């Protein structure tokens, strides 16, 4: 990567763009909502069950001007979801400032493993055991989404729920490859602990991106 491009990436004025597409949000509070997704490359959290491992290596994804990303998104939707990879690996300030200048509703899906940058209308925090969130993101998260792969994830979910604000919406979501095993466990758990809600990857059931 050329030095001048590296400098722009470091400032968040360019970002390693893996993909961008207009679709239906499939998970969490905003499921069923049309949104433009911006998937930023780069992640060192390394979840073994990640379904977008191709996003991990930022070097594989072309540095793209944040202005170009914004101009593409605004053609399709007033709601944009920034995801990854781990988008907070990068400075999200320039991207989100430009989105807000266009009147967009700006959402992020993040593990919280890096300092929070950018201006957000909705923060979905999906913490991972192997690289825990930074302390400051818990109090500003709008929803907490814990992926359930095995029974120990319920313990982890409660540990994480104790750190978020009182208005944060709590979700348990089955890891896709284990869904047949863990969905009955999640259903039972939510019925016994109704502060939690069930989140499903409805876009996969609907066979949409």
124-167 pLDDT, tens digit per residue, is: 999 999 999 999 999 999 999 999 999 999 999 999 999 999 99
Tell me the pTM: 0.95
Structure tokens belonging to residue 139: 């109090």
Residue 88, domain member (yes or no): yes
Residue 45, domain member (yes or no): yes
Q: What is the CATH classification number for the domain harbouring 62?
A: 3.20.20.70
Query: Which residue range forms the structural domain that includes residue 60?
Result: 3-139+156-165
Q: Confidence class of residue 1 from pLDDT cuts 50, 70 and 90?
A: low
Condensed to tens digits (0 to 9), the pLDDT of residues 89-116 reads: 999 999 999 999 999 999 999 999 999 9
Residue 195, domain member (yes or no): no
Domain count, the chain: 1
Rg (CA), the chain: 17
Residue 175, domain member (yes or no): no
The strand order across the sheet containing 63-65 reads 63-65, 14-24, 34-40, 79-83, 105-110, 122-125, 143-148, 169-174, 196-198
Q: Confidence class of residue 175 from pLDDT cuts 50, 70 and 90?
A: very high
Residue 147, domain member (yes or no): no
Whole-number percent of the chain with pLDDT over 90? 84
- Residue 83: the pLDDT is 97
pLDDT higher than 80, residue 23: yes
Whole-number percent of the chain with pLDDT over 70? 100
- Residue 81: the pLDDT is 98
Residue 145, domain member (yes or no): no
Residue 128, domain member (yes or no): yes
């Amino acid at each position: 990567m050329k030095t001048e491009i590296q400098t722009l990436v470091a400032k968040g004025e360019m970002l390693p763009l893996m993909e961008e597409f207009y679709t239906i949000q499939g998970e969490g509070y905003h499921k069923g909502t049309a949104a433009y997704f911006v998937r930023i490359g780069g992640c060192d959290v390394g979840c073994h069950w990640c379904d977008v491992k191709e996003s991990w290596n930022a070097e594989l994804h072309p540095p793209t001007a944040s202005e170009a990303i914004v101009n593409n998104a605004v053609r399709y939707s007033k709601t944009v979801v920034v995801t990854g990879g781990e988008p907070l690996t990068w400075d999200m300030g320039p991207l989100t400032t430009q989105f807000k200048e266009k009147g967009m509703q700006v959402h992020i899906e993040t593990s919280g493993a890096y300092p929070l940058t950018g201006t957000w209308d909705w923060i979905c925090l999906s913490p991972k055991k192997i690289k825990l969130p930074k302390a400051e993101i818990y109090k500003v998260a709008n929803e907490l989404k814990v992926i359930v792969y095995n029974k120990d994830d319920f313990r982890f979910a409660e540990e994480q729920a104790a750190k978020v604000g009182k208005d944060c919406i709590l979700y348990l979501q089955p890891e896709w490859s284990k869904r047949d095993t863990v969905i009955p466990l999640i259903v039972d758990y939510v019925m016994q602990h109704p502060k939690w809600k069930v989140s499903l990857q409805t876009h996969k059931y609907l066979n949409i991106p």
